[in-house]
Structure 1
Amino acid sequence: MARLVYLIGASGVGKDTLLDAAREARSDWLVAHRYITRPSGRGENSVALCESEFAVRRELGLFCLDWCAHGLCYGVGREVEEWCRRGATVLLNGSRRALPQARERFGEALVPVVITAPSEVLRQRLVQRGREGNEEIQRRLARHAKVEAELVRDFPGLPRIDNGGSIEASLSALAAVIDGRSGYSYQG
């Protein structure tokens, strides 16, 4: 059965790490890339586009989903629809803002999943990667808390995976949702 497994969650909870692990562990799952108006290679498998390239692709209808967040534009290529038509299970780092658009476009094939991580785990990850100073880390943690609260409020019935432990445990939980062993069944 074709499915679009649509991962949502605050920045830094490890969605891309989970997708990378899925890519390695499960060749029967296809991990979709996104088109983004920033240089690629910054933590995720993406295709970099300048703003004018993005606008042209949007105008030509080459995206099945697109949204803007944090000053960037994100697009998902129409190839994802074709993969689903052919019966594939496709994993995507989505956006909570674009979830209504994804529901409309993919209907019953859509399986939204909320990825979370405890604030202390997120703090440790931010410190380890060394890109932000203490003030920026505090701002990101405050934003994380706000997004987590919004996800609980706006999407109470969605399956949630705590990605604060081992990647193997998170991957196992994701497989349980996808394979229907979690007791969760999404009704678009």
Structure 2
Amino acid sequence: MGRLIYLIGASGVGKDSLLNEARKVRPDWLVAHRYITRDSGTAERCVTLSEAEFARRQAMGMFCLHWRAHGLCYGVGTEVEDWCRRGAHVLLNGSRRALPQAWERFGAALLPVVVTASTTVLRERLEQRGRETPEQIADRLARHLDIEEELTREYPELARIDNGGTLQQSLEALAKIIDGTDAGCDKSL
């Protein structure tokens, strides 16, 4: 009965803010944390691991999904599969690079959702979080447009949420997407 709701989109579109709001107002959804080889920012909840710790856990099969991006390692613990098997809807800040791996691992239990926002909103958010220089922000905005084009071209069938308004509006849109699905968790997990 459970699904893995796999949120993808460019950095800064508000995936972590959406997940944090879901934690507050939707206790019926579980929000998975990621394991990352860097300290988390204030908006993101993750478990920080060293490169060696990450490699050891990966070698032990403790991640159901893992990928590299921006010189960092990201992983999702196998507990997510158990939560899904138990009927929970699990939300995850995923990666478009790992989407084929997620489909292979979760099958019909996977529900990818593209989270987007306008370039203007994205610029404001990147500036507010203060992690990037103006040049890095310009690069991220260019990459955002490339990502949007790539996702539209390669995955036109994916559900989309415009996260440029309020978090409440985005959560309502996400709830409609989730409630519109009735496929059960893939028993092969």
TM-score (norm 2): 0.92
For each residue in 1:71-130, what CA deviation from the matched residue of structure 2 results, as whole angstroms up to 9, or x when unmatched? Answer: 000000010011011111100000111111111111111000000000011112223334
Percent of matched pairs sharing the same residue:
67
Deviation at 1:148, TM superposition (A): 1.1
Deviation at 1:135, TM superposition (A): 2.4
| Equivalent runs, 1:142-153 vs 2, <5 Å | 142-153=142-153
Task: Output the amino acid matched with 1:36.
Answer: I
Deviation at 1:43, TM superposition (A): 2.9
| Residue 63 of structure 1: aligned partner | 63
| Residue 31 of structure 2: aligned partner | 31
| Equivalent runs, 1:67-78 vs 2, <5 Å | 67-78=67-78
Q: CA RMSD in A?
A: 1.7
For each residue in 1:22-70, what CA deviation from the matched residue of structure 2 results, as whole angstroms up to 9, or x when unmatched? Answer: 1111101000000001113453110000001000000000001101111
Q: How many residues align?
A: 184
| Equivalent runs, 1:1-188 vs 2, <5 Å | 1-180=1-180
For each residue in 1:4-34, what CA deviation from the matched residue of structure 2 results, as whole angstroms up to 9, or x when unmatched? Answer: 0000001110000000111111101000000
For each residue in 1:131-167, what CA deviation from the matched residue of structure 2 results, as whole angstroms up to 9, or x when unmatched? Answer: 4343222222111111111111111000000001111
User: Bigger CA drift: 25-34 or 131-140?
Assistant: 131-140
Q: Give the SS at the match of 2:18.
A: helix
Distance 1:137 1:17 in 2: 19
Task: Output the amino acid matched with 1:126.
Answer: L
Distance 1:145 1:20 in 2: 25
User: Stretches of 4+ moved more than 6 A in 1?
Assistant: none
Question: 1:126–1:75: structure 2 CA closer, same or farther, 3 Å change rule?
Answer: same
Distance 2:100 2:136 in 1: 31
Task: Output the amino acid matched with 1:143.
Answer: R
Distance 2:157 2:97 in 1: 17
Distance 2:124 2:63 in 1: 36
Distance 1:39 1:166 in 2: 27
Structure 2 unaligned regions, length at least 5: none
Distance 2:59 2:131 in 1: 35
User: Bigger CA drift: 135-144 or 1-10?
Assistant: 135-144
User: Bigger CA drift: 114-123 or 133-142?
Assistant: 133-142
Distance 1:69 1:132 in 2: 16
Q: Which has the higher contact order (CA 8 A, sep 6+)?
A: 2
